[in-house]
Structure 1
Amino acid sequence: MSYRESVPLTDNWRFRVDPDGIGLRNHWYADKLDSAREVKIPHTWNVEDGLEEYRGTAWYSYHLAVPTELEGKLLRLQFDAIYRDATVWLNGIRVGEHKHSGYTTFIIDITEAAKPGNHNVLTVSVNNENSDQALPMSNSFDWADDGGIILGVSLIITGAAAIDYAKIIAKPEFEGASVTASRGTISGQIKLWDNGLPSDLLPTVHVNVLYQDKLIASEAYPVRIENGCFAINEITIDQIKLWHFDHPHLYTLKLMLEADGTNTDELSIPVGFREIKNEGSRLLLNREPVRLMGVEWMPGSNPHIGMAETVEDFIRSLEQIKNANCVITRFHWQQDSKLLDWCDLNGLLVQEEIPHWQQPDEPDDALLPVALQHAAEMITRHFNHPCIYAWGIGNEVNGQSAQTVAYMNNLRTHIERMDNTRFINYVSNSIHTVLSKDATGIGDLLMWNDYIGTWHGELDESEVIDRINAAYPDKPLTVAEYGLCEPAFEGGDPRRIQILMQKTEEYRKHDQIAALIFFSLNDYRTQMGEEGVGRLRQRVHGTTDVYGKPKPSYQALREIGAPITVKVERAQETEAIRLTLSVRNDIPSYSVSGYILKVMMAGAEWQSLFIPSLSPGEQWTIEWYEQSAEQADNIRYEIFRPTGFKVIEGTLSEALEL
């Protein structure tokens, strides 16, 4: 029996815009909007004919089934994201609102307003007009401001005593300086939903830990509630499997809450044992020094879908990232938990950010409550994702301003109280100007948007990097953006490839650079776009177009991000064809294990060979004997990661020619 049920509310919504602002005056919040048209959630109006430029209020209505047997249950509505300001009514009763943050999840208690066994009308008003009180602020942000219920909606049904959220820490315990962690601990804190649980009641929590559906630990004990929270006892797990982008091992923590002898709620939480930290200028993942290749993807860019992307839509773009040999990314704004679930399961490191984007030029304490709302909603709902290695607190605000530095430092201090287990970073486009006072210096990593040669003018790339390294010798540097933005700068995809190749080769020479994030995977829809109109307004910045169709630069990104290079030659002494795999020792640089080489002779089936574990700089060689040039042309090879994503492919003859 399940003590928590989550019912998706997807189909049969009604929708209408309210350009004259009459909905509230005419009590649309109590109306089924029967005359409105039907839509499916997630939904945005800004990809629809005639509404591409509409910024204002619109209304949604839904018939919410509440069966009689739900009498006495706690009923909550979860909105994964509404852009942007939303007010929610049930049966004409205003049950909640959410403002100033259009990408974070919020939950509303509808228990008192619901009528079990009767007709229930759920109504939501949404406004996506520019705002000087919201983040992102005003109209100065570089992505689509699509209005609507842009992510999923669900009805959560539990007993009266229920869990709001959990913060679970899965910590590996390493053996001295070794990269081996033979055991780990699971601990954490549970926040209960504020439903008037009696202070003298001691609920019991049942905790089960599973790996690959096998129960490996189990406990049950009474807990004492303090300020609506309780801690779970620390659990030690022996012989743990670490989470890594090539080996994304996940454990499942199952929590069940029992109050007054009745099971009232349960929660299933995937967790991963992993450690990411810096040691001076080196970035360490599970104690191994790594240098990583990545790319940023701008969601919401397909003109037919916009920000109303489904899980299937997310996955198509995420698979392109992984197939491009990219293992790290960042998002300018908060993302769907289901997207992060995929990153957990498939191995993609993520920095998720509060959307401080260029405005206000110098933030002050008046904006801090909104930023803290963003941080709290982002962190409480996404804390348990092992894919998230860092929280971003801003991007390209005036990082050279003393006021900005003080503000970001204050914001960082608050966020550390919410989560002291991850990096906290500010992304700068100005560190290369006056090095000693830039806001990115308050972060755990230096994060630099490098547009030398375009937006930043002609500078000596190597000299600038050396100066940054000298100013901050104790922090790794991440190049958080580099690329070509058209039509602001000319040259097309050939110049994009040139920038990718030349800059990456330069970055590889500087040991302090720990990660590269190319910008961007895709051309992206943006209300600031210089190209196209309406739903097609975009910036041409990507290795794919807005529909996800790859350009030649996508293949260049894939090749430059491969951790393994292939060399094929004829052995003079035997005439055998010799294939040598080398693990890169610059960028990217990390150990490879569990990789598979597949080989297919002409007319034969694929044969799989397990590549031995190799450290950066190491090689592995195999040979084929008595192969003519014609036969070599018919021998194909492919290399795969343990996660199934292809690293590289080709024929032996092609490699021989190279």
Structure 2
Amino acid sequence: MLTNGRQVVSMDEGWRFQPDAANLGEQGEWQAIGLPAPLNVTVPHTWNVQEGLEDYRGTGWYEYTLSIPEEWQSCRIRIHFEAIYRDAVIWVNGHQSGSHFNSGYTAFEIDLTANIQCGVENRITVKVNNSNSDQALPLGNSFDWADDGGIIRPVKLIVTGQTAIKHIKVSPEVQFGQGDNKATGKVNAEVYLCEPSAAATVEIGIFKDGERIWYEVRPLPPQTMTWQLTDVQLSPVDLWHFDHPHLYRLELTLREKEQIKDRVAVNFGFREILVKGRELWLNREPVRLMGVEWMPGSNPVTGLAEKQEDLIAMLERLKEANCVITRFHWQQGSELLDWCDRNGILVQEEIPHWQQPDEPDQNTFTLALSQAKEMIADHSHHPCIFAWGMGNELNGQSEITLRYMEQLKQEILQLDSSRLVNYVSNTIHFQPGTDATGAGDLLMWNDYIGTWHGDLDEHEVIKKIISDYPDKPIVVAEYGLCEPIYEGGDPRRTEILLGKTEIYRQYPQFAALIFFSLNDYRTQMGEDGEGKLKQRVHGSLDIYNRVKPSFAALREISSPLLLAGAPVWHEGELEVTLKCRNDIPSYAVQDYYLTVSSADERVSL
């Protein structure tokens, strides 16, 4: 029996791995199929950065042995995979206990209770396959990032009482007052249980900066599977903002007859983000934002099996570049999003529907909606996520694609009505008014005029888009230089960054710019390098996180502050005048500090 209601055990250490190119293993048994000795590995793990397996797509086996103590005899025992790329079947002591197909970046859990044995060693076996698939998203080999196979994110064992929380969907609401404009907050939540309880209570605590600010005990209705937490009012509240990422924590404790059965804590934040005409508003302020897209999984040492320190190193680069908004072509892990919550980065997280099929059908819709449900269920509490993305670079000029995006958006809004929903287009410059990106809350445009899109007149294209959508904000979701297809190197990359940014700044309809990309990135369709070094040279950092000259240009052009003239000495005092930009980026700057350096000393003001 557990005394604190929940124990979470890391299962990252102690795995064994074995490739199985002939797919000989069956029913979780792979020791006797004549393969070489398995390797001892640590999860997250991918075989596609190992020597000899860089280009291997097929079956890999993982095995883990664990002892379950006798005191867990009456407990519920689950295993949580943050992500396996891609198709996975899981056995426990030779019994198939679960599977997860067609989605390689979303988290899933499997209840092991029926097949686990207490007081003895247990064997967990996982069969993974990363072969190209026409039944998954991303489809086949159409996508522009690495397809590293394996258990690519952390694994945890979750031990609770039989009455346990499966997951919590927190829905904070912001209410703005009159005059002083101080905000109050309302907390609603849906609590999903593993099984109904005959009689239980829920202790509810809300915390800010480690201090409990609200507490109540409520009965859990008998035989319920979904419990609604409503009408929790907090006043005033500190709003989440990329410059001031204030977080709260909701903690729930389930009790049956005074015994704690489960305890779960979820971080969340209060913030409002919405579209008003041609403007994007954050917490009742119109904002124009500068961002950059980072392609994870690009360091050839780790591939997509990045550890937390790898993720943080790249996210710190993103913030160092003064960028506050980004997007990901595929779903990310909780550790990455937790960092964005704590440090202030706005994120559009997307279903990995990349180019193919260019005219989606009902099968594609079913796959996309399934992934949307998993993504939203797992990540809806993250205040950093401001929008869900439905796909990237399909045939946006097709009416089929437009109707598909309209239908998918309505389904996503049923899952989460508090965020924006968008489709990213690389075709809006043809006939803007009929393009599928119009189905989204924002027009999201991958602009490669001058390279992929030919030598069009940038101003004419922009004016046509604005004419067709006079009351809708535009976000440039990608712009940059892709080598080696297009020449010019980093000097041309800087030229594109500076030149296009200055054009966009001339039009108030542009709400955000996302440069592509922060880094050169590993991709299975890369034109440069081989094996685990196969890549596209598209970034201001190389694949080892080393800066190029264009990084300094990105950092400077993304600053919300400008130096108004040269610093001057006046009567023994140094006078420095700063001003806020009024184009892109443009937002209120509060609680910043200025560091002045000279050859002799460094002073912060």
TM-score (norm 2): 0.97
Residue 171 of structure 2 is matched in structure 1 by: 169
Residue 287 of structure 2 is matched in structure 1 by: 290
Mark the CA change 1:463 to 1:16 in structure 2 (over 3 Å): closer, same or farther.
Answer: same
Q: Which letter maps to 1:586?
A: D
2:414 to 417, 426, 431: 417
Task: Give the RMSD, CA atoms, in angstroms.
Answer: 1.9
Matched, 1:608 2:604: yes
Residue 636 of structure 1 is matched in structure 2 by: none
Mark the CA change 1:317 to 1:578 in structure 2 (over 3 Å): closer, same or farther.
Answer: same
Moved more, 113-122 or 366-375: 366-375
SS in structure 1 of the partner of residue 594 of structure 2: strand
Q: Which letter maps to 1:394?
A: G
SS in structure 1 of the partner of residue 202 of structure 2: strand
- State whether residues 523 and 544 of structure 1, in contact with CA within 8 Å, keep that contact through their aligned partners in structure 2: yes
| Matched-pair identity in % | 53
Distance (whole Å) between structure 1 residues aligned to residue 112 and residue 72 of structure 2: 12
Mark the CA change 1:601 to 1:21 in structure 2 (over 3 Å): closer, same or farther.
Answer: closer
1:557 to 540, 554, 557: 554
Mark the CA change 1:304 to 1:569 in structure 2 (over 3 Å): closer, same or farther.
Answer: closer
Deviation at 1:182, TM superposition (A): 3.2
- State whether residues 524 and 534 of structure 2, in contact with CA within 8 Å, keep that contact through their aligned partners in structure 1: yes
Deviation at 1:431, TM superposition (A): 0.7
Deviation at 1:203, TM superposition (A): 2.5
* Superposition map of 1:501-650 within 5 A: 501-569=498-566, 577-600=574-597, 603-604=600-601, 606-609=602-605
1:278 to 265, 272, 275: 275
Distance (whole Å) between structure 1 residues aligned to residue 365 and residue 48 of structure 2: 30
Q: Which letter maps to 2:586?
A: S
Deviation at 1:578, TM superposition (A): 3.1
- State whether residues 562 and 580 of structure 2, in contact with CA within 8 Å, keep that contact through their aligned partners in structure 1: yes
2:124 to 122, 125, 137: 122
C-alpha distance after superposition, 1:326-357 (max 9, x if no partner): 00000000000110000000000000000000
Deviation at 1:572, TM superposition (A): 10
C-alpha distance after superposition, 1:569-594 (max 9, x if no partner): 47699696531101111000000000
- State whether residues 570 and 576 of structure 1, in contact with CA within 8 Å, keep that contact through their aligned partners in structure 2: no
Matched, 1:485 2:482: yes
Distance (whole Å) between structure 2 residues aligned to residue 418 and residue 569 of structure 1: 52
Matched, 1:251 2:240: no
- State whether residues 30 and 91 of structure 1, in contact with CA within 8 Å, keep that contact through their aligned partners in structure 2: no
1:95 to 94, 97, 104: 97
Distance (whole Å) between structure 2 residues aligned to residue 182 and residue 521 of structure 1: 35
Deviation at 1:17, TM superposition (A): 0.5
- State whether residues 28 and 94 of structure 2, in contact with CA within 8 Å, keep that contact through their aligned partners in structure 1: no
SS in structure 1 of the partner of residue 264 of structure 2: strand
Residue 185 of structure 1 is matched in structure 2 by: 186
Distance (whole Å) between structure 1 residues aligned to residue 228 and residue 28 of structure 2: 48
Distance (whole Å) between structure 2 residues aligned to residue 602 and residue 582 of structure 1: 25
SS in structure 1 of the partner of residue 121 of structure 2: coil
Q: Which letter maps to 1:424?
A: V
1:24 to 16, 23, 26: 26
Matched, 1:139 2:141: yes
Deviation at 1:369, TM superposition (A): 1.8
SS in structure 1 of the partner of residue 577 of structure 2: strand
- State whether residues 29 and 89 of structure 1, in contact with CA within 8 Å, keep that contact through their aligned partners in structure 2: no
Mark the CA change 1:337 to 1:225 in structure 2 (over 3 Å): closer, same or farther.
Answer: farther
Distance (whole Å) between structure 2 residues aligned to residue 445 and residue 385 of structure 1: 20
Residue 631 of structure 1 is matched in structure 2 by: none
Deviation at 1:181, TM superposition (A): 3.0
Distance (whole Å) between structure 1 residues aligned to residue 257 and residue 216 of structure 2: 18
SS in structure 2 of the partner of residue 414 of structure 1: helix
Distance (whole Å) between structure 2 residues aligned to residue 366 and residue 15 of structure 1: 33
Distance (whole Å) between structure 1 residues aligned to residue 515 and residue 180 of structure 2: 29
Residue 235 of structure 1 is matched in structure 2 by: 232
Deviation at 1:406, TM superposition (A): 1.3
Mark the CA change 1:226 to 1:320 in structure 2 (over 3 Å): closer, same or farther.
Answer: farther
SS in structure 2 of the partner of residue 366 of structure 1: helix
Aligned length: 603
Q: Which letter maps to 1:38?
A: N
Unaligned runs of 5+ in 2: none
Residue 616 of structure 1 is matched in structure 2 by: none
Residue 347 of structure 2 is matched in structure 1 by: 350
2:438 to 436, 441, 445: 441
Distance (whole Å) between structure 1 residues aligned to residue 598 and residue 48 of structure 2: 52
TM-score (norm 1): 0.89
Mark the CA change 1:431 to 1:225 in structure 2 (over 3 Å): closer, same or farther.
Answer: farther
* Superposition map of 1:54-93 within 5 A: 54-93=56-95
